[in-house]
């Protein structure tokens, strides 16, 4: 008889240990029906917590009332300086009232609710009320322009839309209700618009509009949380658009709960007060700034506005005010902090024990700066994850590596073979991950299918990587034409299509630009038709057109005007050459020749 393969045996042992770690976290939750089987292979997504039922809202609030009713669940601060503190008992009561009110409007299991809201306590209450009802929610960025908002609403198909009268942004008020009204003119299916009174600005009123506080007052009666299957969709999160239509992934209730709690317990664990500084529409903020802390019975700090208003030191002031023990944010925000203030005020970070970045790679220089500002008592960690996987998956410095589920990674070439150290390949996940999405909403072929077909039997992340001389991993960009900007995915093809739709743009190329101060951003190069306007004002309008259709992160930060594109350079080689030239571009468009593009390659 043949001897067993030692490598295969070792991998089976690692897989068994990984499942035991998932089980330990899952067993912390309150299940209405205990799961009969932890994991069952069923490609592509696999089945987790088979036959189990539960309610996410119950696990975030009800489960903690016996011991933590008076403990702060939410510590919120608005951009103008107003503050609210909600205990677990108060949060539970408000969620119950909104649940009853939404049920009175006919919302139940399987219905969809869109939240066009910023970081407000009401946003968290609405998220939990939806999961209490078994409804599926999505959070739409409040800065999204009207056209893009209309497309999102039409694609998601909610019965109820939550919005605000206005939203604070860098000291100004965004007209959210007015934008929502304009977007609703281009779509159908929304039966009620629930409006949070936030800024006091005057808004127009239409049939079906309701004030949040007045709706909340109608919520009373018996509350019976919905028991939903483990894989029942709880939240839909948008990826980068494809062909002018949104692509969104759907996350299962138990999948999101167990993944968020596992990362909180064993990846982020540090003290009892957690602050995820990022937009609430970002899945990382929902998983690790709301669900993770609440599932663990911790306190979640939430901030409404931009962190330099009114004072560049506001981040450190909030860390001190709320005694934050663990801060989670993106490297882009860290770069902004470095630009605003070189040092933290004395004593302001005394409570901080851990700072974790996610959404993009943390550069060594930025890590060194954080270490100098925060001191030796703070662990600085870099997290890697994806929207498709429910948030953070792994850390370079996890809190409890012996208890954190570890899916295992390899760097493979196109044929599926491991590459040597120093050689670039695709970052591939070897074992199943409980937080993996449960489905996708797309208008054409499933753009996420390649995750499982490119390297059959494994999850292909789409990230290019190589191992460096220290044994660490350097991430080098994407296999596909999608880039992460401030933790949000932007489709380069989508930006290119918008530029090519302009009648005076003959050719366009869109690429990723890396700036040591600003991090990753989108840049573009265009060839204009003869006679087309090429003055700075006209070209800035072209950039702004991208922002109006796709949102601010898609706006090319650097803009090149090239006299022509030739056959000598194409694809990745062309984008690399343009990225080199874009380093010289600032706020003004840069005019270059094709010969300069070729010269930038050094050949």
Strand spans (E) along 516-557: 519-528
| Domain CATH for 448 | 2.30.38.10
pLDDT of amino acid 237: 94
Between 376 and 359, the more confident residue is 376
Most confident segment among 11-25, 116-130, 235-249: 116-130
Residues 418 and 493 in one domain: no
Instruction: Assign 7 a pLDDT band (cuts: 50, 70, 90).
Output: very low
Between 265 and 501, the more confident residue is 265
Residues facing 560 on adjacent strands: 525, 590
Residues 94 and 222 in one domain: yes
pLDDT of amino acid 9: 42
The residue from 226, 246, 272 where one domain ends is 226
Q: What are phi and psi of 176, to 5 degrees?
A: -65, -45
Positive/negative CA dihedral, 392, 364, 279, 82: positive
pLDDT of amino acid 480: 66
Residues 522 and 469 in one domain: no
Residues 466 and 491 in one domain: no
Helix or strand or coil: residue 386? strand
User: Does 532 score more than 60 pLDDT?
Assistant: yes
Between 170 and 1, the more confident residue is 170
CA 436 to chain centre: 14
Question: Region 466-489: what's the mean pLDDT?
Answer: 74
Report if residue 298 sits inside a domain.
Answer: no
Tell me the CA distances in angstroms from 548 to 120, 149, 533, 545, 554, one per residue in order: 25, 10, 20, 5, 9
pLDDT of amino acid 13: 64
Query: Looking at the 3D structure of the chain, how many domains does it have?
Result: 3
Report if residue 277 sits inside a domain.
Answer: no
Report if residue 313 sits inside a domain.
Answer: no
Report if residue 413 sits inside a domain.
Answer: yes
Tally of helices (H runs) and strands (E runs) in the chain: 19, 33
Residues 454 and 521 in one domain: no
pLDDT of amino acid 111: 98
Residues 222 and 93 in one domain: yes
Question: Region 364-380: what's the mean pLDDT?
Answer: 92
Question: Distance between CA atoms of 129 and 111, rounded to whole angstroms?
Answer: 12
Residues 457 and 519 in one domain: no
Tell me the CA distances in angstroms from 226 to 52, 111, 285, 332, one per residue in order: 13, 12, 25, 39
Helix or strand or coil: residue 368? helix
User: Does 8 score more than 50 pLDDT?
Assistant: no
Question: Distance between CA atoms of 163 and 179, rounded to whole angstroms?
Answer: 10
For 416-430, 437-451, 475-489, which range has the lowest pLDDT when averaged over its residues?
475-489
pLDDT of amino acid 497: 80
Residues 455 and 507 in one domain: no
Residues 576 and 590 in one domain: yes
Per the structure block, which two tokens stand in for 3?
A: 């001897």
| Domain CATH for 127 | 3.40.50.980
Helix or strand or coil: residue 477? strand
Mean pLDDT of all residues belonging to the chain: 89
Question: Distance between CA atoms of 129 and 123, rounded to whole angstroms?
Answer: 10
pLDDT, tens digit (0-9, with 9 covering 90-100), for 557-592:
888 899 899 888 877 778 888 888 888 777 788 888
User: Does 5 score more than 50 pLDDT?
Assistant: no
Dihedral angle, C-alpha 66, 69, 72, 77, nearest 10 ° = 130
Nearest to residue 261, comparing CAs of 411, 60, 420?
Answer: 60
Residues 92 and 156 in one domain: yes
Report if residue 238 sits inside a domain.
Answer: no
Instruction: Assign 546 a pLDDT band (cuts: 50, 70, 90).
Output: confident
Instruction: Assign 196 a pLDDT band (cuts: 50, 70, 90).
Output: very high
Residues in Cβ contact with 137 at an 8 Å cutoff, skipping those fewer than 6 apart: 112, 113, 114, 115, 126, 127, 130, 131, 234, 235, 236
For 154-163, 462-471, 583-592, which range has the lowest pLDDT when averaged over its residues?
583-592
pLDDT of amino acid 3: 43
Report if residue 78 sits inside a domain.
Answer: no
Report if residue 207 sits inside a domain.
Answer: yes
Residues 583 and 473 in one domain: no
pLDDT of amino acid 559: 86
The DSSP call for residue 13 is H
Question: Region 141-161: what's the mean pLDDT?
Answer: 91
Residues 139 and 165 in one domain: yes
Angle (deg, nearest 10), helices 492-500 and 536-550: 130
| Domain CATH for 487 | 3.30.300.30
For 66-70, 148-152, 546-550, which range has the lowest pLDDT when averaged over its residues?
546-550
Domain that holds residue 460: 409-432+443-478
Question: Distance between CA atoms of 496 and 513, rounded to whole angstroms?
Answer: 15
The residue from 458, 478, 498 where one domain ends is 478
- Strand order of the β-sheet with 409-412 is 409-412, 425-429, 459-467, 473-478
Question: Distance between CA atoms of 566 and 317, rounded to whole angstroms?
Answer: 53
Between 539 and 255, the more confident residue is 255
Per the structure block, which two tokens stand in for 539?
A: 């070209």
Question: Distance between CA atoms of 584 and 595, rounded to whole angstroms?
Answer: 16
Report if residue 122 sits inside a domain.
Answer: yes
Residue % of the chain over a pLDDT of 90: 57
The residue from 161, 193, 226 where one domain ends is 226
Question: Distance between CA atoms of 238 and 546, rounded to whole angstroms?
Answer: 18
User: Does 436 score more than 60 pLDDT?
Assistant: yes
User: Does 452 score more than 60 pLDDT?
Assistant: yes
Secondary structure element (H or E) that encloses residue 574, with its range: helix 571-582
User: Does 128 score more than 90 pLDDT?
Assistant: yes
User: Does 114 score more than 90 pLDDT?
Assistant: yes
Most confident segment among 230-244, 437-451, 533-547: 230-244
For 269-278, 326-335, 476-485, 538-547, which range has the lowest pLDDT when averaged over its residues?
476-485
CA 524 to chain centre: 24
């Amino acid at each position: 008889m043949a001897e067993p393969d030692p490598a295969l045996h070792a991998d089976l042992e690692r897989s068994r240990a990984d499942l035991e770690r998932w089980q330990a976290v899952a067993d912390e939750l309150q299940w209405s029906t205990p799961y009969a089987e932890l994991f069952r292979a069923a490609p592509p997504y696999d089945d987790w917590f088979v036959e189990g039922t539960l309610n996410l809202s119950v696990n975030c609030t009800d489960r903690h009332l016996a011991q933590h009713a008076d403990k702060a669940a939410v510590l919120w601060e608005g951009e103008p300086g107003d503050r609210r503190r909600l205990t677990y008992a108060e949060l539970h009561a408000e969620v119950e009232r909104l649940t009853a009110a939404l049920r009175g409007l006919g919302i139940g299991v399987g219905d969809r609710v869109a939240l066009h809201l910023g970081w407000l306590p009401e946003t968290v209450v609405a998220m939990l009320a939806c999961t209490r009802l078994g409804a599926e929610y999505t959070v739409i960025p409040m800065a999204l322009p009207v056209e893009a908002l209309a497309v999102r609403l039409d694609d998601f198909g909610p019965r109820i839309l939550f919005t605000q009268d206005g939203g604070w942004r860098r000291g100004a008020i965004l007209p959210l209700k007015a934008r929502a009204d304009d977007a609703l003119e281009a779509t159908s299916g929304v039966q009620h618009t629930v409006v949070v009174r936030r800024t006091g600005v005057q808004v127009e009123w239409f049939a079906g509009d309701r004030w949040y506080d007045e709706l909340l007052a109608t919520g009373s009666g018996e509350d019976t949380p919905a028991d939903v299957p483990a894989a029942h969709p709880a939240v839909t999160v948008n990826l980068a658009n494809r062909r002018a239509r949104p692509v969104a992934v759907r996350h299962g209730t138990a999948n999101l709960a167990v993944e968020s709690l596992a990362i909180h317990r064993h990846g982020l664990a540090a003290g009892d007060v957690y602050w995820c500084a990022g937009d609430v529409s970002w899945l990382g903020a929902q998983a690790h700034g709301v669900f993770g802390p609440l599932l663990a019975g911790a306190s979640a700090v939430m901030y409404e506005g931009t962190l330099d208003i009114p004072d560049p030191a506001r981040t450190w002031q909030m860390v001190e005010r709320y005694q934050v023990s663990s801060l989670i944010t993106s490297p882009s925000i860290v770069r902004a902090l470095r630009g605003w203030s070189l040092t933290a005020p004395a004593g302001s970070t005394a409570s901080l024990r851990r700072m974790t970045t996610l959404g993009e790679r943390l550069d060594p220089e930025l890590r060194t700066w954080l270490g100098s500002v925060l001191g030796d008592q703070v662990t600085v960690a870099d997290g890697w994850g994806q929207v498709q996987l429910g948030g953070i998956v792994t850390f370079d410095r996890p809190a409890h590596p012996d208890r954190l589920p570890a899916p295992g990674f390899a760097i493979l070439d196109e044929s599926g073979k491991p590459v040597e150290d120093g050689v670039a390949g695709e970052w591939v996940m070897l074992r199943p991950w409980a937080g993996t999405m449960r489905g996708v909403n797309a208008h054409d072929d499933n753009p996420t299918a390649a995750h499982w077909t490119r390297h059959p039997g494994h999850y292909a992340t789409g990230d290019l990587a190589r191992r460096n001389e220290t044994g660490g991993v350097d991430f080098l960009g994407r296999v596909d034409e999608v880039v992460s900007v401030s933790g949000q995915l932007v489709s380069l093809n989508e930006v290119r299509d918008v530029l090519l739709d302009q009648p005076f743009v003959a050719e366009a190329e869109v690429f990723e630009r890396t700036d040591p101060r600003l991090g990753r951003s989108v840049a573009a190069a265009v060839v204009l038709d003869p006679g087309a306007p090429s003055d700075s004002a006209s070209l800035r309008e072209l950039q702004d057109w991208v922002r109006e259709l796709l949102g601010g992160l898609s706006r090319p930060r650097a803009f090149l005007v090239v006299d022509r594109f030739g056959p000598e350079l194409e694809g990745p080689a062309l984008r690399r050459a343009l990225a080199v030239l874009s380093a010289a571009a600032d706020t003004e468009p840069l005019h270059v020749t094709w010969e300069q593009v070729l010269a930038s390659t050094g050949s």
